[in-house]
C-alpha cells in the first residue's frame, strides 16, 4: 500500500476510510496440515473467522489491531471479539507494531516510520479498553 493509505487507515487517532487486513503466512513443513488460504477469502468477519479457526486447529492466528470498532450498541462487536479471542490472540498495535507494518507492507520509498503524536497514549488506552471487553467474558 502507499504511504497515504497507511497513514489514513492505520492511524489510531481517527476513524479510517477503509479496513485493511495485512497478514503474513508461515507454512508448516507437514503438507498434510496445509489449508489453501484462497479458499477462505473474505473470512475476516468474526463469526466466519472463529468458525474457520475452530475447524482448522493446525492454524494459529494473532491479530494486531490499530483500533477497536465498538459503534454497535447491541454489543455484538464486543461479543464477537470475545468469541474470536478464544482461538486467536488479539492485541492492540504499539509503535513497534506500526513500524513493522510500515516496513513490511508499505511502499515507503526508504523513508523511516514516523509515529504520530499521541500514538503510544492512544495505543495504551485502546489496550485497556480491549482488555476490559475480553475480561467481561469471564464475568
CATH fold of 3-135: Cytidine Deaminase; domain 2 (3.40.140)
Tell me what the mean pLDDT of segment 122-135 comes to: 92
* Cα 12 from Cα 67, distance rounded (Å): 6
For the chain, what is the radius of gyration of the CA atoms? 16
**pTM greater than 0.75:** no
Each domain of the chain, given as residue ranges in start order, spans: 3-135
pLDDT, one tens digit per residue, over 64-85 is 888 887 665 566 677 778 877 8
* Cα 30 from Cα 84, distance rounded (Å): 26
Amino acid at each position: 500500500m502507499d504511504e497515504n493509505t497507511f497513514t489514513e487507515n492505520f492511524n489510531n487517532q481517527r476513524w479510517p476510510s477503509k479496513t485493511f487486513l495485512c497478514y503474513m503466512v508461515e507454512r508448516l513443513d507437514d503438507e498434510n496440515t496445509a489449508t489453501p488460504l484462497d479458499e477462505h477469502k473474505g473470512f475476516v468477519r468474526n463469526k466466519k473467522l472463529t468458525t474457520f479457526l475452530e475447524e482448522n486447529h493446525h492454524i494459529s492466528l494473532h491479530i494486531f489491531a490499530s483500533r477497536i470498532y465498538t459503534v454497535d450498541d447491541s454489543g455484538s462487536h464486543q461479543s464477537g471479539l470475545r468469541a474470536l479471542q478464544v482461538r486467536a490472540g488479539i492485541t492492540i498495535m504499539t509503535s513497534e507494531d506500526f513500524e513493522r507494518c510500515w516496513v513490511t507492507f508499505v511502499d515507503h520509498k526508504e523513508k523511516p516510520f514516523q509515529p504520530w503524536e499521541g500514538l503510544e497514549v492512544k495505543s495504551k488506552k485502546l489496550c485497556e479498553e480491549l482488555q476490559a471487553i475480553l475480561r467481561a467474558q469471564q464475568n
